[in-house]
């Protein structure tokens, strides 16, 4: 069994850009601005999604979250986006993989490690 690669061995976004390489994404990202309340060990934080993929979410929020922080959040996915007659509430758990300041707000990228659809 192979050991997982360390983050220190992977090139950063800046290194990728400097070398003229293209960053490869594993999943298609959908630009969706949805309000959300992030729950972390350090508290609850209002946020808004910027984009969502099958494996993760990019959030806009007023403070930075620590890399590696476990988070919980619920998303009300619009029916037209999912191809359903009604919106669908999805409860998610994940972890913060990075957080940085962008102009006047923070951008936190997080995984979707597990999810459950809420019953109607």
> Which domains occur in the chain, in start order?
27-117 (2.40.10.220)
pTM attached to this predicted model = 0.75
Q: What is the dihedral of CA 118, 28, 94, 59, to 10 degrees?
A: -90
Residue indicated by tokens 């992030």: 38
**CA 92 – CA 75 distance, rounded (Å):** 8
State pLDDT tens for residues 68-120. Answer: 999 999 999 999 988 899 999 999 999 999 999 998 899 999 999 999 999 76
């Amino acid at each position: 069994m192979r050991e997982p690669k360390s983050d220190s061995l992977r090139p950063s976004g800046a290194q990728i850009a400097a070398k003229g390489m293209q960053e490869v994404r594993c999943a298609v990202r959908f630009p969706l601005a949805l309000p959300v309340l992030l729950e972390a060990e350090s508290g609850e934080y209002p946020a808004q999604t910027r984009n969502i993929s099958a494996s993760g979410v990019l959030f806009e929020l007023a403070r930075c979250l620590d890399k590696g922080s476990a988070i919980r959040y619920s998303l009300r996915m619009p029916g037209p986006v999912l191809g359903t007659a009604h919106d669908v509430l999805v409860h998610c758990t994940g972890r913060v993989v990075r957080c940085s300041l962008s102009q006047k707000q923070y951008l936190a990228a997080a995984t979707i490690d597990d999810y459950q659809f809420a019953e109607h």
